[in-house]
Amino acid sequence: MNDPVLRLSGIKKAYNAAKPTEVTVLRGIDLTVEPGEVVALVAPSGAGKSTLLHIAGLLDTPDTGTVEIAGVDMTGQSDRKRTGVRRRDVGFIYQFHHLLPEFSALENIVLPQLANGVGTADAQARATGLLDQVGIAHRASHRPAELSGGEQQRVAFCRALANAPRLLLADEPTGNLDPTTSDQVFGALMDLVRSTGLSAVIATHNLELAARMDRQIRLDAGLLVPV
């Protein structure tokens, strides 16, 4: 199977179409991400990164254009099919961790696996292994409020990878951290991604972090241009 993990073709998106408040965000996006490829998406705030990532991750639909995940065109698929592909094949990371506050780090990584039909013992073993990979196995029983910002994001990375997706979509994953922590936490993310052979699109303002990925693209006036 050598299909690209993600292929976007001719994606256009406007909000409030045909109203005075219309905002055209994406004007014809073409992007192919190969297996194992890590792409940096660089763009200033408001350029449409979140819109693009949400469309790529099947959380939103384009006005025109197609989204293919692992060779399957998702256009016109049922909500049930789209939800299934999103749960199984796509992992999301946001700037803020969005962990469930009343559950431990381990439980936050176990729960999405249980929702995907994995047994408790296997889910716990995988969660422990992931926490170990990002260097915080000793924090497994801590709740999010008892963790530092960097530790919270590491847990969020593990949760995103809990169901072994093919594609990781990350929106400013270290944007909320101080520069030193951001650097370390980004290193942990890249190690995790490389060790699993995952494909990723990682949005960042930080050009140093962007340079550590395989390829950089810039979102400029609704179109992607090479950096």
The residues of the shown chain that bind ligand ADP, judged by CB under 6 A, are 15-16, 23, 25, 43, 45-51
Residue from 111, 115, 109 nearest 133 by CA: 109
Nearer to ligand ADP (CB atom), residue 23 or residue 164: 23
Q: How far is the CB of 98 from ligand ADP (least distance, A)?
A: 16
Supply the DSSP string of 50-63, one letter for each residue: HHHHHHHTTSS--S
Q: How far is the CB of 205 from ligand ADP (least distance, A)?
A: 10
Q: How far is the CB of 51 from ligand ADP (least distance, A)?
A: 3
- 212 φ, ψ to 5°? -85, 0
Instruction: Round to the nearest angstrom and report the end-to-end CA distance of the chain.
Output: 29
Q: How far is the CB of 139 from ligand ADP (least distance, A)?
A: 30
Residue from 169, 174, 168, 172 nearest 154 by CA: 174
Q: How far is the CB of 22 from ligand ADP (least distance, A)?
A: 9
Nearer to ligand ADP (CB atom), residue 48 or residue 91: 48
Q: How far is the CB of 59 from ligand ADP (least distance, A)?
A: 12
Nearer to ligand ADP (CB atom), residue 48 or residue 62: 48
Nearer to ligand ADP (CB atom), residue 20 or residue 197: 20
Q: Measure the CA–CA gap between 182 and 114, rounded to whole angstroms.
A: 30
Name residue 160's amino acid.
A
Nearer to ligand ADP (CB atom), residue 50 or residue 104: 50
Helix, strand, coil percentages for the chain (3-state, nearest 5)? 35, 25, 35
Q: Measure the CA–CA gap between 193 and 102, rounded to whole angstroms.
A: 28
Nearer to ligand ADP (CB atom), residue 47 or residue 201: 47
- Beta-ladder partners of 92: 169
